[in-house]
Amino acid sequence: MLSPRMKAIRVSRPGGPEVMELVDLPTPGPGPGEAMVRVEAAGVNFIDIYHRSGAYPREAPFALGEEGAGIVEAVGPDVTDLKAGDRVAWASAAGSYATHVLVRADRAVRVPAGVTSAQAAAVMLQGMTADYLARSTFPLARKHTCLLHAAAGGVGLLLAQMARRAGARVIGTTSTNAKAKFARDAGTDEILLYAEAPFDEAVRALTAGRGVDVVYDSVGATTFERSLAALRPRGMLVLFGQSSGRVPPLDMQVLAARGSLFVTRPTLRDYVATRTELVERAERVLGAVSRGELSVTIHRTYPLAQADAAHRDLASRATTGKLLLVPQP
């Protein structure tokens, strides 16, 4: 039965974590193509911070959060492949920081037995991101060496595991020795600490001067130049985030001078553009979790009312693995 009331995080104006407000609302019924889902866990991601702060502008007021997992309570009249009681997960439903959220049925996937809602919410966005990075943007194989920034972060810990399973050598960067241990446990072969030495020089030393085949960079402004310098000729820099800020405009001649390099700025949206691709990626990731082939690190869970604390912790870059909001019954 559909719950009559719901709680949700709303943002009335761009700003810091303090602009997030927990509000009480009537629960809307699902329209055509929609499912109303009772949220059991919602993922906290940097894109949520970008939306809240205005770095990615949205018209206010708006609902926050995009990723989560939970139980279907009701479906629209034309939805035939989901029903009340199904466990589902998603990576693109606006307003997921809530006790209930409307999800497009064609953007939801079933959660397999053996995977908790917390695990599912922790891997939908970051797990599918790691999947497309390792399989599609630059398909890793045994012959490759990759440099992975923020190797102890949410995507980093998952991508390191996938890269090792593909047979690639993984060089990771972290900010502390404590984070380095998590990265090593995930399968990173060598760890470089940002503060100890320029990482591009260390990469050259580890690769006999050649450089790596690909750099996976979610940090952005503070790492971009040295990431280019760490590549082999015709290597690829995959910039999939900007936790330290936007990268300044790039003179394309730099790519020629450094060895005919490639740079790409991918997003998950374009790698799950069709229902078929979404289901394939999600089932591959969730299936690996179910079989114990992919370890999920959940750093901390917070009640909805502490969404501001979750944002502060994530922005501090002092966390390891995933942060989740867990609505209270």
Q: In what order do the strands lie in the sheet with 62-63?
A: 20-26, 5-11, 62-63
CB 54 within 8 A of CB 79: no
Residue type, 280: E
Return d(Cα 135, Cα 129) in angstroms, integer.
10
CB 214 within 8 A of CB 238: yes
Reference 79, options 113, 103, 112, 100; nearest CA is 103
Count other C-beta atoms under 10 Å from residue 9's C-beta. 23
Reference 122, options 267, 281, 301, 276; nearest CA is 301
Return d(Cα 34, Cα 177) in angstroms, integer.
46
Quickly list DSSP for 179-193.
Answer: HHHHHHHTT-SEEEE
Return d(Cα 46, Cα 140) in angstroms, integer.
25
DSSP 197: S
The torsion angles phi and psi of 326, rounded to 5 degrees, stand at -120, 105
Mean pLDDT by 10 residues, the chain (329 residues): 88 96 95 97 95 93 97 96 97 97 98 97 97 98 97 95 97 93 94 91 97 97 96 98 91 97 97 98 98 95 97 89 89
Residue 171: per-residue pLDDT: 98
Which residues have C-beta within 8 Å of that of residue 164, sequence separation ≥ 6?
A: 170, 187, 189
Residue type, 246: R
Residue 329: per-residue pLDDT: 59
Return d(Cα 268, Cα 287) in angstroms, integer.
19
Structure-block tokens of residue 118: 């917390």
Domains, the chain, in order of start with CATH, read 5-124+272-325 (3.90.180.10), 141-265 (3.40.50.720)
Measure the CA angle with vertex 233, ends 227 and 236; round to 5°: 50
C-alpha separations of 278 from 4, 91, 285 in Å: 31, 10, 11
CB 41 within 8 A of CB 326: yes
Q: 3-state DSSP call for residue 40?
A: strand
CB 105 within 8 A of CB 75: yes
